[in-house]
């Protein structure tokens, strides 16, 4: 299929699925198609002429970047994020900026100033696309784009991938540059890729997997070569040893999801891999730790939105001694949505002098324990550590396989009465890998329910730096159907 034909299909699909509200802004159609035409004749690069949708918290100089927030509703960045430069350099074209939960805070892409995203309907009810990168997931699932970039702080790529039946890959922390990615929680934020195949996801990943001096957390060349030497030294036998975290078999796990998980493991065993129960004892604290750390960093990162230098500002004076209003309270009060305000307050509290020891510091300790858990079960040593902790277990594994989300995608209606804490539950399986910075991919596993084909997202997690193994394994089984 010619590039132009592919692009025209995407453009047509965007128009057809406009009601899903996957995009916040789109480039001018004829200009985009002209670029594709140009790519067809003169272009080169691994992503030549491919349309890639971009989550709207990644800065682009030609389209607005809003992070789905009212406070940035008319903001256009003066510069391109490094990942945008890399995509353009590899020949990729921006399909549009996708809708999301405001600043990445949410699990269903409903908390957007630009309206909620849906992935379609079930029994005439709109179904959640997952979040926070729901727009990117829907863009790929609905063929609006060849691939998409999202960001994953606690599962924001993997969860929507699981809900929409797409591939969602979150690489190891520090491999892809965050320069130009609007920070939610810097120590967790990771740019991730949506695609319809793991191979395509890998192609996009390879175009972005490079050191960026502008991002102080981007791994330098020396660390990258150390990782590859650790990975290449590992005697990787096929078949693989697959770990099943016993703590993930929680009571809240949807029976269908549990059944698909078990059948998937059985299938892997049938293919010759060996299945090993492993224990990740800190798992039960990981979610709490995440919901202390991420809001803490968010409360700090979002302090910059005051309407002074850019962004929206409430009309009139933004601090008055008469009304005893606090500086910027009006602009920030009007500019942020409820969930963002909730997390800013949460973070402001856990960092306060009276609470920091009991919350922020404790959560950092839990985070370290989560990493130790993973280091204990993976056969591959963590390449970031000089010395490996003495490791009595010989029951070590190459990858972990578990559900991406504890439930199937809910309808948007069913979310209405949900408490915030219920929503946070969706992240229970994705958060541990985020806390430890591990590579993880969600692959759709097909099954039949009530005579109809459906998918459940199954997550494959690897040791830090073992991104290629995770992608290879995903690509081997991504067409998996249990029927």
Partner 1 sequence: MFSRPSSSLYRGAAQGRYVCQACLRDVRVRRQLVANAQCLQLRSRSLQTTTTAEEVTPYRKQLKDEAKKKKLEGGPKASKKKSKTKDPRLEKWELTVGIEIHAELNTARKLFSSAATSSSDAPNTHVAVFDVAFPGTQPHFQRETLIPALRAAIALNCIIQPKSSFDRKHYFYQDQPAGYQITQYYEPFAKDGHITLFDHDGIAPEDGKSITIGIKQIQMEQDTAKTIQRPPSTHLLDFNRVSHPLIEVITLPHIHHPSTAAACVRKIQAILKTIDAVTAGMELGGLRADVNVSVRERHNTTGTGPDNSYYGVTGLGQRTEIKNLSSFKAVEDAIIAERDRQIDVLEAGGIIEGETRGWTLGSKETRKLRGKEGEIDYRYMPDPDLGPVIVGDDVVQALRDTLPELPDDIASKLVSSVKYGLTMKDAKTMVALDDGERLDYYLDVVQLLHKDLENDTALQGSIGRVAGNWVLHELGGLFTTSEEGWTDTKVMSQNLTSIISQLLRRQITGRTAKLLIATIFHGDQRTVNQIIEEENMTLRPMSREDYLATAKALLSENPDVVQAIKEKGQHGKIMFLVGQMVRRSEEGTVEAKTAESILKELLEIPRDE
Active site residues: 55, 132, 156
* CB nearer partner 1, residue 317 or residue 388: 317
Q: Tell me if 461 sits within 8 A of 399, measured CB to CB.
A: yes
The residues facing 192 across adjacent strands are 150
Minimum CB separation from partner 1 for residue 61, in Å?
8
Site for partner 1 contains 72 (CB under 8 A): yes
Site for partner 1 contains 328 (CB under 8 A): yes
Site for partner 1 contains 359 (CB under 8 A): no
Helix/strand/coil for 65: coil
Minimum CB separation from partner 1 for residue 131, in Å?
19
d(CA 11, CA 338) in angstroms, rounded, equals 33
For residue 27, the number of C-alpha atoms closer than 13 Å in the C-beta half-sphere is 24
Which window, 14-22, 34-42, 77-85, 106-114, contacts partner 1 (CB under 8 A)?
77-85
* Contact map string, positions 368 to 397, toward partner 1, x by CB under 8 A: ------------------------------
Site for partner 1 contains 269 (CB under 8 A): no
Site for partner 1 contains 319 (CB under 8 A): yes
**CA proximity to 92, closest of 102, 101, 81:** 81
d(CA 182, CA 345) in angstroms, rounded, equals 19
Q: Which residue, chain included where needed, has tokens 């097909």?
A: 446
Site for partner 1 contains 299 (CB under 8 A): yes
Q: Which one of residues 1, 30, 31, 216 is an interface residue with partner 1 (CB under 8 A)?
A: 216
Helix/strand/coil for 346: helix
Q: Which one of residues 179, 184, 291, 336 is an interface residue with partner 1 (CB under 8 A)?
A: 179
Q: Distance from CA of residue 50 to its chain's centroid?
A: 21
Minimum CB separation from partner 1 for residue 442, in Å?
25
Q: Which one of residues 4, 356, 369, 454 is an interface residue with partner 1 (CB under 8 A)?
A: 356
Q: Which one of residues 100, 183, 207, 408 is an interface residue with partner 1 (CB under 8 A)?
A: 183
Minimum CB separation from partner 1 for residue 175, in Å?
16
* CB nearer partner 1, residue 223 or residue 263: 223
d(CA 60, CA 82) in angstroms, rounded, equals 10
Q: Which residue, chain included where needed, has tokens 């191979």?
A: 199
Q: What is the CA radius of gyration of the chain?
A: 22
d(CA 293, CA 361) in angstroms, rounded, equals 9
**CA proximity to 134, closest of 123, 122, 120:** 120
Q: If binding means CB under 8 A, how many residues of this protein chain bind partner 1?
A: 47
Q: Which one of residues 120, 199, 310, 395 is an interface residue with partner 1 (CB under 8 A)?
A: 310
Minimum CB separation from partner 1 for residue 178, in Å?
7
* CB nearer partner 1, residue 67 or residue 443: 67
Site for partner 1 contains 297 (CB under 8 A): yes
User: Which residues, 193 to 212, sit near partner 1 by CB under 8 A?
Assistant: none
**CA proximity to 79, closest of 176, 179, 149:** 179
For residues 378, 163, 112, 24, the Cα torsion angle rounded to the nearest 10 degrees is 100
Tally DSSP H helices, then E strands, for the chain: 16, 13
Q: Which residue, chain included where needed, has tokens 């949506």?
A: 194
Q: Tell me if 177 sits within 8 A of 218, measured CB to CB.
A: yes
Residues contacting residue 424 through CB under 8 Å, at least 6 positions apart: 107, 287, 291
Site for partner 1 contains 312 (CB under 8 A): no
Site for partner 1 contains 78 (CB under 8 A): yes
d(CA 302, CA 300) in angstroms, rounded, equals 6
Minimum CB separation from partner 1 for residue 327, in Å?
5
Q: Tell me if 415 sits within 8 A of 269, measured CB to CB.
A: no
* CB nearer partner 1, residue 109 or residue 218: 218
| Structure tokens that stand for 157 in this block | 């790529």
**CA proximity to 111, closest of 121, 119, 103, 120:** 103
Q: Which one of residues 2, 317, 388, 414 is an interface residue with partner 1 (CB under 8 A)?
A: 317
* CB nearer partner 1, residue 49 or residue 295: 295
Minimum CB separation from partner 1 for residue 288, in Å?
18
* CB nearer partner 1, residue 102 or residue 306: 306
Cα angle vertex 152, ends 150, 157, to 5°? Answer: 60
* CB nearer partner 1, residue 291 or residue 477: 291
Distance (Å) of CA 53 to CA 13, 95, 110, 139: 13, 5, 19, 7
Which window, 161-169, 261-269, 296-304, 433-441, contacts partner 1 (CB under 8 A)?
296-304
Minimum CB separation from partner 1 for residue 179, in Å?
6
Q: Which one of residues 10, 181, 204, 287 is an interface residue with partner 1 (CB under 8 A)?
A: 181
Which window, 110-118, 137-145, 236-244, 318-326, contacts partner 1 (CB under 8 A)?
318-326
Which window, 32-40, 113-121, 325-333, 384-392, contacts partner 1 (CB under 8 A)?
325-333
Binding positions for partner 1, rule: CB under 8 A: 58-59, 65, 67, 72, 75, 77-79, 81, 178-183, 185-187, 213-217, 296-297, 299-300, 302-304, 306, 308-310, 317-319, 326-328, 348, 351-353, 356, 360
């Amino acid at each position: 299929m010619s590039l132009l034909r592919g692009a025209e299909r995407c453009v047509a699909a965007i128009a057809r699925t406009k009601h899903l509200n996957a995009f916040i802004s789109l480039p001018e159609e004829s200009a985009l198609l002209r670029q594709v035409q140009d790519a067809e004749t003169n272009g080169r690069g691994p992503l030549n002429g491919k349309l890639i949708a971009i989550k709207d918290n990644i800065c682009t100089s030609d389209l607005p970047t809003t992070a789905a927030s009212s406070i940035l509703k008319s903001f256009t960045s003066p510069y391109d994020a490094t990942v945008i430069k890399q995509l353009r350099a590899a020949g990729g074209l921006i399909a549009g900026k996708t809708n999301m939960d405001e600043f990445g805070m949410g699990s269903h892409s409903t908390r957007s100033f630009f309206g909620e995203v849906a992935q379609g309907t079930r029994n005439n009810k709109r179904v959640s696309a997952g979040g926070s990168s729901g727009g990117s997931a829907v863009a790929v699932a609905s063929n609006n784009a060849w691939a998409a970039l999202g960001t994953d702080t606690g599962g924001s790529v993997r969860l929507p991938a699981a809900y929409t039946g797409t591939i969602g890959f979150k690489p190891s922390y520090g491999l892809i540059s965050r320069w130009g990615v609007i920070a939610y929680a810097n120590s967790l934020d990771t740019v991730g890729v949506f695609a319809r195949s793991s191979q395509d996801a890998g192609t996009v990943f390879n175009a972005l997997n490079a050191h960026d001096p502008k991002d102080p957390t981007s791994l330098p060349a020396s660390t990258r070569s150390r990782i590859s030497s650790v990975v290449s030294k590992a005697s990787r036998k096929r078949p693989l040893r697959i770990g099943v975290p016993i703590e993930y078999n929680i009571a809240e796990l949807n029976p269908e999801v549990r059944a698909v998980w078990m059948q998937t493991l059985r299938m892997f065993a049938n293919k010759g891999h060996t299945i090993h129960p492993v224990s990740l004892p800190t798992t039960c604290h990981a979610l709490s730790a995440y919901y202390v750390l991420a809001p803490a960093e968010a409360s700090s990162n979002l302090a910059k939105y005051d309407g002074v230098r850019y962004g929206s500002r409430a009309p009139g004076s933004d601090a008055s001694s008469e009304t005893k209003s606090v500086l910027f309270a009006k602009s920030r009060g009007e500019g942020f949505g409820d969930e963002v305000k909730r997390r800013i307050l949460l973070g402001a509290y856990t960092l306060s002098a009276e609470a920091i020891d009991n919350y922020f510091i404790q959560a950092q300790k839990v985070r370290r324990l989560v990493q130790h858990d993973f280091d204990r079960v993976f056969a591959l040593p963590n390449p970031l550590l000089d010395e490996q902790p003495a490791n009595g277990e010989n029951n070590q594994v190459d990858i972990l396989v578990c559900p991406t989300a504890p439930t199937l995608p809910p309808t948007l209606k069913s979310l209405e009465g949900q408490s915030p804490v219920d929503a946070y539950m969706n992240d229970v399986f994705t958060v541990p890998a985020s806390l430890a910075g591990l590579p993880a991919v969600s692959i759709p596993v097909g099954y039949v329910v009530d005579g109809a084909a459906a998918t459940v997202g199954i997550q494959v997690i690897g040791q830090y730096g073992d991104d290629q193994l995770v992608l290879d394994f995903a690509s081997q089984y991504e067409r998996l159907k249990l029927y």
